[in-house]
Amino acid sequence: MQYFVQQLINGLTLGSIYGLIAIGYTMVYGIIGMINFAHGDIFMIGAFAALIVFLILGALFYSLPVVIALLVMMIVAMLLTSMYNWTIEKVAYRPLRGSFRLAPLITAIGMSIALSNFVQVTQGPRNKPVPPMVSKVYNIAGISVSLKQIIIVLVTIVLLALFWYLVNKTSLGRAQRACEQDRKMAALLGIDVDRTISITFIMGAALAAVAGTLFLMYYGVVVFSDGFTPGVKAFTAAVLGGIGSLPGAVLGGLMIGFIESMWSAYFSIDYKDVAAFSILAIVLIFLPSGILGRPEVEKV
């Protein structure tokens, strides 16, 4: 039982990170109907930015409270990834909007390749380890919960609450939902569609940056190719939850997190990714639009 709860907590931590990335996928998909393949690499850029900021802070200040350091890392990473995603949208996706459906998918894959190789070229191909930032571990009834995990879950909850408010209660969120429903009509009603889409990309990137920072803090290492696997897992999570659905993305993220930690704990750590992908395939056989996705109406 203790072991199970322990795994549950590990899964929750992992799932939170996946969920944060998955939101970026699902939001972009919802609003312009494309898979932003470069999103995983945006996450990696976020983690790298956090790493560099961490090193700058370490060089500038002799000792800095961890909370402030983390906050600064997060904010800088958010700003930087927002800028990246904004630029990418403007350069690679916007000119292709409304054209051939596969064209933006290919530019997205191209951007993903370019971004990860850009980081490889500029920062080198080796693993980048950082000294542990937070190392406190609490022991509650035989279950060890590290402060890192608590931070990750808390940050995720706060961000999701903020995000929920933004999407559901503000005029910006209303504009986004309108664009998602019918972009042409939204434009006719005076919504600046380009701006709304840009903001969507920025929001997705900011969440990915937070996920990147948390990832760096949790694992203490990052490498240029780290965008791919978490990116694909988060994309899997978004699809599992029903792409286009925000609660679905979070749910999918948590599910993938749980599947991975449980599978590693009880079966074999080698096949944890196989398990996650297989469950995705099985779920989609029975629910072709994911768990919370709107079933596609086949209009005859």
Question: Where in 125-184 is the site for other proteins (CB under 8 A)?
Answer: 126, 128-131, 181-182
Q: Which 15-44 positions form the footprint of other proteins (CB under 8 A)?
A: 29, 35
Helix (H, G, I), strand (E, B) or coil at 126: coil
CA angle 51/73/121 to nearest 5° reads 30
The two three-digit tokens of residue 183, written as one number: 């972009």
Span near other proteins by CB under 8 A; candidates 8-16, 123-131, 207-215, 250-258: 123-131
The phi-psi region of residue 138 (left if phi > 0; otherwise alpha if psi is between -120 and 50; otherwise beta) is beta
Q: Which 223-262 positions form the footprint of other proteins (CB under 8 A)?
A: 228, 232, 235-236, 239, 243
295, with CB counted inside 10 A (0-12, 13-18, 19+), is exposed
The C-alpha atoms of residue 284 and residue 273 are separated, in whole angstroms, by 17
Instruction: Compute the least distance from the CB of residue 93 to other proteins, in Å.
Output: 10
Please, how many CA atoms are within 13 Å of residue 205, restricted to the half-sphere of its CB?
A: 27
Instruction: Compute the least distance from the CB of residue 149 to other proteins, in Å.
Output: 24
CB contact set of 24 (below 8 Å; sequence gap of 6+): 36, 39, 42, 43, 203, 204, 205, 207, 208, 234
Give the interface size with other proteins as a residue count (CB under 8 A). 76
Span near other proteins by CB under 8 A; candidates 47-55, 138-146, 159-167, 195-203: 47-55
Instruction: Compute the least distance from the CB of residue 202 to other proteins, in Å.
Output: 13
Instruction: Compute the least distance from the CB of residue 135 to other proteins, in Å.
Output: 17
Instruction: Compute the least distance from the CB of residue 150 to other proteins, in Å.
Output: 26
H-helix or E-strand spanning residue 154: helix 147-169
Q: Which 77-116 positions form the footprint of other proteins (CB under 8 A)?
A: 80, 83-84, 87, 90-92, 94-96, 99-103, 105-107, 109-115
Q: Which 255-294 positions form the footprint of other proteins (CB under 8 A)?
A: 270-271, 273-274, 277-278, 280-282, 284-285, 288-290
Contact pick of 118, 174, 177, 265 for other proteins (by CB under 8 A): 118
Phi/psi at 13 (nearest 5 deg)? -60, -50
